[in-house]
């Protein structure tokens, strides 16, 4: 299966938002705010995976300068210009387990390293095993977004 990775732009942002919301990785108002912010800010970037003409997944990264996860992580909250977070990562159900997630993750890793990243963090409710297969290490659980999530990091 040939997969093409493209940046999320004004032209395809609504489709990416729909994929993220359908996968329940965020509430629509929050996802819209963050993905539209991507179109104007350098500290957030999102990419889409295409099979043919169909967008089948999306992923992004951001720098948590507001300390969004600080309450959940406490003293181990990572700060600094070299710390990035995975954002709104989702694949349409019929395209899962086909390697598309790994392709998107490699794209993000390349992007964040090119932007000075030394640590890539993620929190997840359901995808801990996937992230561990991608080289992330479990750090701790933390209460965020009204439930206990797994926090993982990958160092470069």
- As for how many domains the chain has, the answer is 1
The verdict on residue 80 lying in a domain is yes
- Kindly report the CATH number assigned to the domain that includes residue 33: 3.40.630.30
Q: How far apart are CA 75 and CA 71, in angstroms?
A: 9
pTM above 0.85, yes or no: yes
pLDDT in tens, 124-139: 999 999 999 999 999 9
Q: How far apart are CA 57 and CA 23, in angstroms?
A: 10
Tell me the chain's radius of gyration from C-alpha atoms.
15
Q: Which two tokens stand for residue 49?
A: 């995976």
Per the structure, the complete domain to which residue 101 belongs is given by 4-121
Q: How far apart are CA 120 and CA 16, in angstroms?
A: 22
Sheet harboring 83-91: ordered strands across? 4-7, 44-51, 54-62, 83-91, 119-124, 147-155, 137-144
CB 58 within 8 A of CB 48: yes
CA 14 to chain centre: 17
pLDDT at residue 122 in the model = 97
The verdict on residue 17 lying in a domain is yes
pLDDT in tens, 91-108: 999 999 999 999 999 999
Confidence at 43, pLDDT banded by 50, 70, 90: low
- How do strand 137-144 and strand 119-124 relate by DSSP bridges? unpaired
The verdict on residue 61 lying in a domain is yes
The verdict on residue 89 lying in a domain is yes
The verdict on residue 144 lying in a domain is no
What are the residues whose beta carbons fall under 8 Å from the beta carbon of 146, sequence distance 6 or more? none
């Amino acid at each position: 299966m040939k997969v093409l990775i493209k940046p999320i732009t004004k032209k395809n942002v609504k489709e990416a938002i729909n994929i993220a919301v359908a996968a329940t990785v965020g509430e629509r108002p929050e996802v819209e705010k963050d993905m539209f912010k991507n179109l104007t800010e350098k500290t957030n970037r999102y990419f889409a995976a295409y099979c043919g003409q169909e967008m089948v997944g999306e992923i992004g990264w951001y720098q948590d300068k507001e300390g969004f996860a600080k309450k959940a992580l406490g003293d181990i909250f990572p700060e600094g210009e070299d710390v990035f977070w995975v954002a709104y990562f989702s694949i349409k159900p019929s395209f899962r387990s086909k390697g598309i997630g790994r392709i998107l993750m490699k794209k993000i890793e390349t992007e964040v390293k090119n932007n000075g990243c030394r640590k890539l963090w993620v929190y997840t409710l359901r995808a801990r095993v996937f992230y561990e297969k991608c080289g992330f290490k479990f750090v701790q659980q933390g209460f965020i977004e009204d439930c206990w999530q797994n926090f993982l990091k990958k160092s470069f």
